[in-house]
Amino acid sequence: MTTISIQGLGKRFGSSTAVRDVSLEVPSGAFVVLLGPSGCGKTTTLRMLAGLEEPTSGTIRFGDRVVADGDRGYSLPAEKRSLGMVFQSYALWPHMTVRQNIEWPLTVAGWSRADRAARVEQVLASLEIGPLADRAPAQISGGQQQRVAIARTIAPRPEVVLFDEPLSNLDARLRVETRAELGRVHRENDATSVYVTHDQVEALALATHIAVLKDGLLEQFGTPEELLERPATAFVASFLGSPPAVLLPGRVEGGSFVHRGVPVAPVPDGVSPAHVMYRPQDVVLDPAGELGFEVVESTPAAGMHLVTGYVGGPGSVDGADVGRERVTVVSPLPARPGEATRLRLPAAPAALFGQDGGRL
């Protein structure tokens, strides 16, 4: 198994900077998810790991090998990095059978015929696609094609496997099924995996570690539990979780944090937060609560209800919501869309975040 070390990684395209000074250490055998909104730099980072883009600054190491050094203008070709990559598109050879598609990279790598045959049978069984071995890609479903693409990638036993949103073309049911297969295949193989997605449910289901990116910067890197329990920034708190944390902006007045003119939490001396955070399961729908709340939707989930709405009641300019925070809370009872109620907050917030977004 191989560690991945990224130090000061950056990538510019002309005057535009896609990735800024990203540093992280990936343990050997980890399943790391690069997570963030569109345009945050996660795919560019993956492409630099793959050797498909050259960094403009910083270094990438696989184990003790430097595979890229942007400061020296060095980038090891992709085919020499001992890695495999699964793309959004399946990219299977249409004129080859499933078996031939999986065997092809082994042939290129110089494996003997006996070793190729044994390894192909092994990965066919691992991904439960043995009955499809003699079919053409056009004769199997999209989910089956993606399994073939994964089998082809892991067949040569690469040290590192990269995934570029491989489930995005599948329907909801197939995404869940294939996601489970990906996790199992990772556990059965020795490769270190890096996976790109904007789907946080996917990230939380698969990852041993998550790197949250925003505007090309690394917001936080750690296990899913670490990021959920102790988000390092207001962005991580608002982005990660299902539902994410309840984040309220405001200012300090007279030793209290004030949101919309309502004192909601005591603040220690010398601390000046810009946001307070509450766990969504700790915020209660209560007509006698402190803050007005307009319900937008109420979704049943595992015996509870995810109630989403706007804090602060109705208010718009030219039809656009102004100065209202959209939040989701966990309630034992449903609520009606359009209903006006109130939120009762815990006595103390779970976290405070400063003007720069960092945790205080």
Q: What is the mean pLDDT of the chain?
A: 92
> What is the arithmetic mean of pLDDT over 238-246?
94
Using CA atoms, how far apart are residues 46 and 63, in angstroms rounded to an integer?
Answer: 17
Using CA atoms, how far apart are residues 334 and 33, in angstroms rounded to an integer?
Answer: 34
Predicted confidence band of residue 177 (pLDDT cuts 50, 70, 90): confident
* Contact (CB, 8 A) for 324 and 341: no
For residue 209, give Cα distances in angstroms to 26, 134, 148, 163, 192. Answer: 8, 37, 26, 15, 11
Handedness of CA 99, 100, 105, 108 (dihedral sign): positive
Give the percent of the chain with pLDDT over 90.
Answer: 81
Structure tokens at 341: 């109620």
For residue 328, give Cα distances in angstroms to 186, 268, 304, 323. Answer: 33, 27, 12, 17
Q: Which residue has the tokens 């290129």?
A: 108
Give the percent of the chain with pLDDT over 70.
Answer: 97
Predicted confidence band of residue 323 (pLDDT cuts 50, 70, 90): low
Q: Is 100 helix (H, G, I), strand (E, B) or coil?
A: helix
Predicted confidence band of residue 319 (pLDDT cuts 50, 70, 90): very low
Using CA atoms, how far apart are residues 181 and 160, in angstroms rounded to an integer?
Answer: 18
For residue 49, give Cα distances in angstroms to 88, 186, 239, 301. Answer: 17, 18, 25, 38
pLDDT value at residue 314: 46
Per DSSP, the chain holds a count of helices (H) and strands (E) of 8, 24
pLDDT value at residue 272: 93
pLDDT value at residue 260: 86
pLDDT tens for 36-90 read: 999 999 999 999 999 999 999 999 999 999 999 999 999 999 999 999 999 888 8
pLDDT value at residue 317: 34
Using CA atoms, how far apart are residues 54 and 31, in angstroms rounded to an integer?
Answer: 23
Q: Domains in the chain, ordered, with CATH?
A: 4-232 (3.40.50.300), 246-353 (no CATH)
Predicted confidence band of residue 320 (pLDDT cuts 50, 70, 90): very low
335, pLDDT greater than 60 = yes
312, pLDDT greater than 80 = no
* Contact (CB, 8 A) for 343 and 285: yes
* Contact (CB, 8 A) for 276 and 250: yes
pLDDT tens for 76-127 read: 999 999 999 998 888 899 999 999 999 999 999 999 999 999 999 999 998 8
315, pLDDT greater than 70 = no
